[in-house]
Amino acid sequence: MRPEPLPEAEAPLALRPRRGTRRKGGNGGGGGAPGPQRGPVAGPCRQGKLRLQKWYLATADREKKKMVRELMQVVLSRKPKMCSFLEWRDLKVVYKRYASLYFCCAIEGQDNELITLELIHRYVELLDKYFGSVCELDIIFNFEKAYFILDEFVMGGEIQDTSKKSVLKAIEQADLLQEEDESPRSVLEEMGLA
Amino acid sequence: MALKMVKGSIDRMFDKNLQDLVRGIRNHKEDEAKYISQCIDEIKQELKQDNIAVKANAVCKLTYLQMLGYDISWAAFNIIEVMSASKFTFKRIGYLAASQCFHEGTDVIMLTTNQIRKDLSSPNQYDTGVALTGLSCFVTPDLARDLANDIMTLMSHTKPYIRKKAVLIMYKVFLKYPESLRPAFPRLKEKLEDPDPGVQSAAVNVICELARRNPKNYLSLAPLFFKLMTSSTNNWVLIKIIKLFGALTPLEPRLGKKLIEPLTNLIHSTSAMSLLYECVNTVIAVLISLSSGMPNHSASIQLCVQKLRILIEDSDQNLKYLGLLAMSKILKTHPKSVQSHKDLILQCLDDKDESIRLRALDLLYGMVSKKNLMEIVKKLMIHVDKAEGTTYRDELLTKIIDICSQSNYQYITNFEWYISILVELTRLEGTRHGHLIAAQMLDVAIRVKAIRKFAVSQMAMLLDNAHLIASNTQRNGICEVLYAAAWICGEFSEHLEEANQTLEAMLRPKVTTLPGHIQAVYVQNMVKLYASILQQKEQSGEKEAAQEITQLMIERLPQFVQSADLEVQERASCILQLIKYIQKLQIKEVPVAEEVIALFAGELNPVAPKAQKKVPVPEGLDLDAWINEPPSDSESEDEKPKTIFHDEEQRHRHRQPEMDEEELARRREARKQEQANNPFYIKSSPSPQKRYQDTPGVEHIPVVQIDLSVPLKVPGMPMSDQYVKLEEERRHKQKLEKDKKKKKQKKEKRGKHHRHNSLHTESEEDIAPAHHVDIITEEMPENALPSDEDDKDPNDPYKALDIDLDNLVSGKPSRPLADSEKLPVQRHRNVEALKSPDSEAPPVEKKSKKPKKKEKKHKEKEREKGKKKEKEKKVVEEEERKKEEDLDFWLSTAPPPAPTTQPQSEPEASAAVVAEPQEVKREEREEHEEEEDEGKKSSKHKKKKHKKEKEEKSKDRKKSKKKSHHSEEETAESVQNGTLEDEPLPPMSSYRLLAENPYVKMTYDIQGNLQNDSQVTVSVIFENKSTSFLKSMELNVLDSLNTKMLRPEGSSVHDGIPVPFQLPPGISNEAQFVFTLQSIVMAQKLKGTLSFIVKNDEGSTHEKLDFKLHFSCASYLITTPCYSDAFAKLLESGDLHMSSIKLDGISISFQHLLAKICFHHHFSVVERVDSCASMYSRSIQGHHVCLLVKKGENSVSIDGKCSDSTLLSNLLDEMKETLSKC
């Protein structure tokens, strides 16, 4: 699989369960772009703004931009009732819309579309659990968290852990470490504010 | 210092944080660019500060801006700074930024190597995790090479969390640094059976990805994966494995047979659509590769088609789409099964979703038959009319043409109908595919001789209405059909009824607005037309009319002479002169028609597109040799015009000059010679007339009277429908006739109409075409070369990974890892290296291998290489055979999976292997014989085993015997080489219990380091056993004179060392502490305390746990390889003190015993002969320790020699203790 984009909107992302699907991270309105062997990107919606992007193949910036732009265009031009797959360049793009955010993932010809859709859905579920009923603003203002979650879930384009629980656990613990790190500083900050 | 920090923090409060930036950008929608450039300036300032928190904040903001599309590559160095921050918070941000913006072109990336290595070996698993994640995004060949060994070590980390990530990233490493594949593969394979499901699935992922690219190297893993497939319940893993099998089956068809059953079971049972879809796809692939020989072959296909039908009928668009996609794969090999679902597919053409319609179109292509072609195309034509958006309409158009023209117009029974369809298609506005339609018209008109008359009449109509076509599509598109129309009218002008009118249409001034290449064809063909009119008029004696037409040409041609297009201009002026000359002759009343028509005499045959390529180069002809002197460089190459028929037209006309008989005969001979080698020569095909006679009676005469009143000019009236009706009638008639004839035949019994027989026997499907389709097979030169093989893409990144792994995999090193293949290891001294992954190495048996690799000296290497080579030679051949037999064996067994999981062994040549292949054969033949044989060689233990198994069924027996045999022999061998890697030992752990209470459990392991002769590293695993949170853990020991804990500078001996993490409930983590020591000849014990805070809902309490840290003498030893000659010298030197012990009642096998000594006491085996072995180790302070271990019936004696007698006796005591536990 590859990259994918996800969309944005200020409405909460509605989660509809689905039969067999999976995703590679990313969200935002618009498109994500691929690198060979799976890398996702995510971008937001109507305005076509990218909210997250993740590439599982190192790609030069210019090429990334071009692909994102193209992909956004393709994905945004899809009508609501259309299926979630499309062929693009030599890749397959799997996308799904949650509220105003499109999550896209570019995969290779032989990859399984349905499991990619499931991957996307899982990622959104993870975001939802982590932020508690996630909305686009959560992703905008905490974009680094969204990346951290994605990184715990997918690595190098392959799913790392199929258990939502263990992904969330890893994130929580890493966050804990971080909080411990941060605590002295926040005291200082408070002082400063006072 | 502190003041500076405070100042930095206060400064920071005035900085924007990420939230501010995001908010700011949202508030400055109008002047976003300006606002952002302002922000970037601020960020640049922030990056200049010393405070790492400020920098991290800046980098975080940059990461956000990067996503918005701003270039942040200038900050790459700052990102690296943040990556190397010690705090996890910042490190995380740094790595995130790096993973988002680094790529192979980032030059500072090489500066990260050491930092990443440091993070990889960090005691904090999240540091390691974050480094691995980052690395997976930007790994370069250099990084891969430098870090491969570190990552490989992490694959055996104690934490599944790290193992999982390390395994996944290995794939990226392989891609960038293919040399790492062989050394790393055995361990990777081992991870397929990791106890942690996450790690297991990661390993499956990686191996499946590898295998999909180069399946043949992984064929031998099939049994293992088969076992996984039948036992796993994780759909994600199953999908990967099934995909892998899909890739393997084409290479090993027998595998396919084995797979069908479990796959069909899955199809029946699974509720996950993704898995179902994968299974169906793989079954299809398998069946395709099997092609035949499957008993319930069609049943499987039926099952797939049924399931797919369910998908297609589903209301979920996604399933519908995928169902159609998979259906098209079946279609290729089993068209009949799919054709029965035509209704469903046609329904999908009405779907709202364009992508689904397109898929359905693809399917239709394969579903047409003579019977339904017209119906399907009619339906498609309706869609063409309805279609909005040119893309889909163009797609429809190409599909219609594809469908009709496939396999040489196989399904077209009525070409008039087809021509009318093409003509109807010309009404499409703005299509890009005018040239496609044109090519079809030309092709049909040339190849289907009987249709020419009709085609010409239609084309004349088109030319007449050229204004409609040309005005519609100024830009590109449909006017291309005029090219075809003009050419057809010209070339086959003898069929034209109103030639005058057509000529006039071609001479209209409007024509000059057409593209140049079309005009050129116009000009050329109006002469043809002119010639045939001339002839016609002359024959009927209408001289006036003939002159009139000449006059018309002379009047109108100048408009082409003025054309800006060179081609048009040149042809026009040529022709104009020619016609002026004709006019002169006409005035003199000389009959000219014959000569003019001779310009275009000759039959035209199609030539296969590849014909030219296929001409074999005659012997003795050097195409590269210069015929004349090479031209000067300045000469430019002439470019050829790209018109379609241009070349052929010029070449294939053969004019026949008048010559006397003799001359003719001579020339004919010469020509024949020439023709044999002339690729352009078109051999005359049997004349069409002749062919018609061969075809069944009525058929060669178009039954349908060409109704020229067909209202071509009225757009919107689908005239092709008429032909559909007519065709139906015709078929009906035909059928009746046939029936009649049949009856007749029955009556006559021996009818005269033998040639009709074939018709009658054919099924309904084979409706005789209305015309004999004189589909001339395209001509190919004689001795055409076989088709060109397609080259593989040389740029395929996966090609580099096409590495033979079998030898590694089956554990039989026919090609052992060469020294050059070993992963590069960091060699220089480095304080960090103390804590390097080595010390965390797995509690499992593989420690001895690593140090060996690292410290091997050149001499030794070479010597070893030599040895290996010798053995290798012997082994290679038999090895290959063995391997094959194994897989064969597995494949030939009956369905229930019989995974012969072969033990892997360190790829070193083993002498025992040589005996194997013969044995396997024997096993299959004579079991008794074999047993005796083996009995001689093997230990009692084994014999017993065999006897037991004897009672089992013969098949199983064979298998397991083979297995046990392998493992034992190999083990012995690997021990001999000082490596224990794949021994089937009970899992051993070097971690011993340190202390335990209800809250926490501590286990520890001590490892020496060769690089520092007075330090050892103690790795302690803390496990939180309670349901509370443990924090502020601090470890302290009471130093002795000899042994002291290494504390940070400035702290007193009474200060504890904080454990660098907290423990949530149920979690364990590892920390490392360094101790310095002076003497190492005695074991030591240190008292210590762990203090920590237990935090739960009720509050927090302070707790303590006391422990005693035991430094055994063995922990000062480092496994060091030694070769027998060096060992012998050492013993001879006489500098060593000697001591020995003897133990009774030892029942474990010798190799287990050796393994234990190797593992727990850090020895390596130097040599082993029967039940006697010499072993060697070295202390961190350089003491040599040599052992001679002998095993008697029930006892073991160990003689030791060491440079220090105290150390030796202590070591022997420890060994005694270890062994007595067995």
| pLDDT 10s digits, A117-150 | 888 999 999 999 999 888 888 888 888 888 999 8
Query: Which tokens sit at B532?
Result: 């045939």
Distance (Å) from the alpha carbon of A130 to chain B's nearest alpha carbon: 18
Mean pLDDT to the nearest integer, B473-491: 79
Query: pLDDT class for B167, splitting at 50, 70, 90?
Result: very high
Looking at residue B893, what is its pLDDT?
Answer: 55
Looking at residue B547, what is its pLDDT?
Answer: 87
Looking at residue B688, what is its pLDDT?
Answer: 40
Which residues are CB-contacts of A185 (< 8 A; sequence separation ≥ 6)? B9, B53
Is B773 within 8 Å of B409 (Cβ atoms)? yes
Query: Which tokens sit at B848?
Result: 């001895």
| pLDDT 10s digits, A46-97 | 567 788 888 887 777 788 888 888 888 888 888 888 888 888 888 888 888 8
Contact status of B478 with chain A (Cβ, < 8 Å): no
Q: What is the ipTM of this complex?
A: 0.82
Contact status of B674 with chain A (Cβ, < 8 Å): no
b/e map B588-613, b = 16+ CB within 10 Å: eeeebbeebbeebeeeebbbeeebee
| Residue B847, pLDDT above cutoff 50 | no
Query: pLDDT class for B573, splitting at 50, 70, 90?
Result: very high
Pairwise pLDDT comparison (B909 vs B197), residue with the higher score: B197
| Least confident segment among B461-470, B487-496, B923-932, B1204-1213 | B923-932
Looking at residue B1177, what is its pLDDT?
Answer: 87
Of the spans B138-152, B639-653, B769-783, which averages the highest pLDDT? B138-152
Residues B606, B608: Cα–Cα separation, whole Å: 7
Mutate to test the interface with A, among B15, B95, B103 (most CBs of A within 10 A): B103
Query: Minimal Cα distance from B164: which residue of A?
Result: A160
Residues B982, B190: Cα–Cα separation, whole Å: 9
Is B50 within 8 Å of B16 (Cβ atoms)? no
| pLDDT 10s digits, B848-884 | 444 444 444 455 555 555 555 555 554 444 544 455 4
Looking at residue B827, what is its pLDDT?
Answer: 53
> Closest to B60 (Cβ–Cβ): which among A58, A144, A178?
A144
Residues B1196, B417: Cα–Cα separation, whole Å: 97
| Least confident segment among B86-95, B683-692, B878-887 | B683-692
Mutate to test the interface with A, among B18, B61, B133, B143 (most CBs of A within 10 A): B133
| Residue B921, pLDDT above cutoff 60 | no
| pLDDT 10s digits, B1043-1082 | 888 887 777 777 888 887 888 887 788 888 888 888 888 8
Q: How far from A2 is each of A35, A53, A157, B49, B345, CA to CA, in Å?
A: 6, 11, 6, 38, 31
Query: Minimal Cα distance from A154: which residue of B?
Result: B133
Mutate to test the interface with A, among B3, B172, B1030 (most CBs of A within 10 A): B172
| pLDDT 10s digits, B770-826 | 555 555 455 555 555 554 444 445 556 667 777 766 555 444 444 555 555 666 665
Contact status of B139 with chain A (Cβ, < 8 Å): yes
Pairwise pLDDT comparison (A11 vs B772), residue with the higher score: B772
> Closest to A114 (Cβ–Cβ): which among B92, B103, B322?
B322
For residue B504, which of B526, B489, B485, B532 has the smallest C-alpha distance? B526
Distance (Å) from the alpha carbon of B31 to chain A's nearest alpha carbon: 16
HEC secondary structure over B37-91: HHHHHHHHHHHHCCCHHHHHHHHHHHHHHHHCCCCCHHHHHHHHHHHCCCCHHHH
Mean pLDDT to the nearest integer, B897-915: 40
Looking at residue A5, what is its pLDDT?
Answer: 39
Residues B3, A182: Cα–Cα separation, whole Å: 19
Contact status of B131 with chain A (Cβ, < 8 Å): no
Query: Minimal Cα distance from B21: which residue of A?
Result: A141
Helical (H) or strand (E) element with B25: helix B18-27
Rounded percentage of chain B residues whose pLDDT exceeds 90: 3
Distance (Å) from the alpha carbon of A87 to chain B's nearest alpha carbon: 9
- Residues of B within 8 A of A53 (CB-CB) are 67, 100
Helical (H) or strand (E) element with B1142: strand B1137-1144
Residue B1204's CB: how many other CB atoms inside 10 A? Answer: 20
Looking at residue B365, what is its pLDDT?
Answer: 83
Contact status of B621 with chain A (Cβ, < 8 Å): no
> Closest to A181 (Cβ–Cβ): which among B88, B168, B205?
B88
Q: What phi and psi, each to the nearest 5 degrees, are found at residue B424? A: -60, -40
Distance (Å) from the alpha carbon of A51 to chain B's nearest alpha carbon: 7
Taking an 8 Å cut-off on Cβ atoms, the answer to whether A85 and B322 are in contact is: yes
DSSP structure string for B1051-1091: --TT--EE-SS-B-TT-EEEEEEEEEES--SS-EEEEEEEE
DSSP structure string for B135-150: HHHH--HHHHHHHHHH
| pLDDT 10s digits, B312-361 | 888 888 898 999 888 888 887 777 788 888 888 888 888 888 888 888 88
Contact status of B320 with chain A (Cβ, < 8 Å): yes
Q: Which residue has the tokens 């959560």?
A: A138
Residues A67, B1064: Cα–Cα separation, whole Å: 43
Contact status of B51 with chain A (Cβ, < 8 Å): no
Mutate to test the interface with A, among B13, B244, B318, B1068 (most CBs of A within 10 A): B318
Instruction: Look up residue B641 and give its DSSP letter.
Output: P
Pairwise pLDDT comparison (B1191 vs B785), residue with the higher score: B1191
Query: pLDDT class for A29, splitting at 50, 70, 90?
Result: very low
Residues B228, B238: Cα–Cα separation, whole Å: 8
Cβ under 8 Å to B: A residues 51-80: 51-56, 58-61, 65, 68, 79
Query: Minimal Cα distance from A88: which residue of B?
Result: B355
Taking an 8 Å cut-off on Cβ atoms, the answer to whether B172 and A156 are in contact is: yes
- Residues of A within 8 A of B1067 (CB-CB) are 173
Contact status of A128 with chain B (Cβ, < 8 Å): no
Mean pLDDT to the nearest integer, B675-693: 46
Looking at residue B34, what is its pLDDT?
Answer: 87
Taking an 8 Å cut-off on Cβ atoms, the answer to whether A85 and B164 are in contact is: no
Pairwise pLDDT comparison (B119 vs B736), residue with the higher score: B119
| pLDDT 10s digits, B435-479 | 888 898 888 888 888 888 899 998 988 888 877 776 654 555 778
- Residues of A within 8 A of B172 (CB-CB) are 156
| Residue A23, pLDDT above cutoff 70 | no
Contact status of A141 with chain B (Cβ, < 8 Å): yes
Query: Which tokens sit at B1072?
Result: 């490392």
Give the three-state DSSP class for B1110: strand
Is B1055 within 8 Å of B1091 (Cβ atoms)? no
Pairwise pLDDT comparison (B695 vs B263), residue with the higher score: B263
Looking at residue B932, what is its pLDDT?
Answer: 44
Helical (H) or strand (E) element with B862: helix B858-892
Taking an 8 Å cut-off on Cβ atoms, the answer to whether B236 and A148 are in contact is: no
Residues A60, B96: Cα–Cα separation, whole Å: 17
| Residue B295, pLDDT above cutoff 70 | no
Residues B76, B94: Cα–Cα separation, whole Å: 10
> Closest to A110 (Cβ–Cβ): which among B60, B198, B212?
B212
Residues B355, A78: Cα–Cα separation, whole Å: 10
- Residues of A within 8 A of B165 (CB-CB) are 155, 160
Looking at residue A40, what is its pLDDT?
Answer: 46
Contact status of A140 with chain B (Cβ, < 8 Å): yes
Pairwise pLDDT comparison (B463 vs B683), residue with the higher score: B463
Looking at residue B577, what is its pLDDT?
Answer: 92
| Residue B226, pLDDT above cutoff 50 | yes
For residue B874, which of B818, B816, B819 has the smallest C-alpha distance? B816
DSSP strand pairing (A39-43 vs A101-107): antiparallel
Query: Minimal Cα distance from A115: which residue of B?
Result: B274
Looking at residue B811, what is its pLDDT?
Answer: 43
Cβ under 8 Å to B: A residues 19-58: 19-22, 36-37, 49-56, 58
Contact status of A83 with chain B (Cβ, < 8 Å): yes
> Closest to B198 (Cβ–Cβ): which among A50, A51, A161?
A161
> Closest to A56 (Cβ–Cβ): which among B12, B105, B137?
B137
Task: Output the average pLDDT for chain B.
Answer: 74
* Global pTM value: 0.58
Half-sphere exposure of A61 (CA within 13 A, CB side): 17
Is B125 within 8 Å of B161 (Cβ atoms)? yes
b/e map B942-964, b = 16+ CB within 10 Å: beebbeebeeeeeeebbbbbbeb
Residues B1141, B1149: Cα–Cα separation, whole Å: 18
Taking an 8 Å cut-off on Cβ atoms, the answer to whether B18 and A159 are in contact is: no
Total count of residues recorded for chain A = 194
| Residue B1158, pLDDT above cutoff 60 | yes
Mean pLDDT to the nearest integer, B82-88: 88
Instruction: Look up residue B434 and give its DSSP letter.
Output: H
Query: pLDDT class for B94, splitting at 50, 70, 90?
Result: very high
Residues B782, B636: Cα–Cα separation, whole Å: 34
